[in-house]
Amino acid sequence: MAVENELLHFCKGLERSFVMNRPKASESKLTRDSKSRVPYRPPYGKLFMIKNKKRCPWVPENDSLYTAYHDTEWGVVVHDDNKIFEYLILESAQAGLSWRIVLHKRYNYKKAFANFNPKKVAKFTDGDVAKLLMNAGIIRNRQKIIATINNAQKFLEIQKEFGSFSSYIWKFVKDKPILHELRQLADYPKDIPEAVILASDLKKRGFKFLGPTVIYAHMQATGMVNDHTIDCFRHKEVSSQHKKR
């Protein structure tokens, strides 16, 4: 699938209040679906591909989809349970692979896993597993697929216990994002103590494929940690959003 089409699918996850007209192929602005519910309220009102900006050193220069993800989602605080569940699905699928691979399959995962609805995924049957193993649009790993269904069931148990999964997971950072001051790629740790503790608790509760490294990636993505490098244009923007909360 062409990057342009993937961008259109990606933007179906953007907030209703920032609906834009569908761009022509030559335009760089991202579209969004008025019926979608996803990640992020841009601080600048309109979302578009921002050029000539300093970004984190891990952002590939030739991947518009990845760049848009960095510029609009990564590090932004997430409290919506369905969105948290989406990231848990994608990040557990990433285990042992690159995030770039998973990101480019994101829309396929959305279709395959019931629009990232944990209640529906928790009810998947052996027949659903068989269908998913035939789906070339996702990572066809039986253990990861079964783990996703298991994790959906455990996710619902935590919601019942704590009222929401967000209430549970954010207590591991005392309901306040951790702000790191990273300067280069070498400064990024494999994990952090909070991720180790959270991963251990999730394991005790029966979750699979969510070790400390994967959980740390989840914390970075959902704004529990601001790991934009200090020279990245998003570092200050994300930090200011945290302070407004």
Nearest Cα neighbor of 216 from 238, 199, 241 is 199
**Residue 3: count of CB within 10 angstroms of its CB:** 15
185, amino acid identity: L
Whether 194 is catalytic is: no
Q: Is 170 a catalytic residue?
A: no
Active site residue 99: yes
CA distance 216 to 91: 10
User: Mapping DSSP to helix (H, G, I), strand (E, B) and coil, where does residue 52 land?
Assistant: coil
- At residue 24's C-alpha, the angle toward residues 20 and 30, to 5°, is 40
22: β partners: none
Which candidate in 6, 73, 86, 91 is catalytic?
91
Could you say which of 66, 69, 87, 109 is catalytic? 69
Q: Where are the beta strands (DSSP E) in the chain?
A: 178-179, 225-226
Catalytic positions, written as ranges = 69, 91, 99
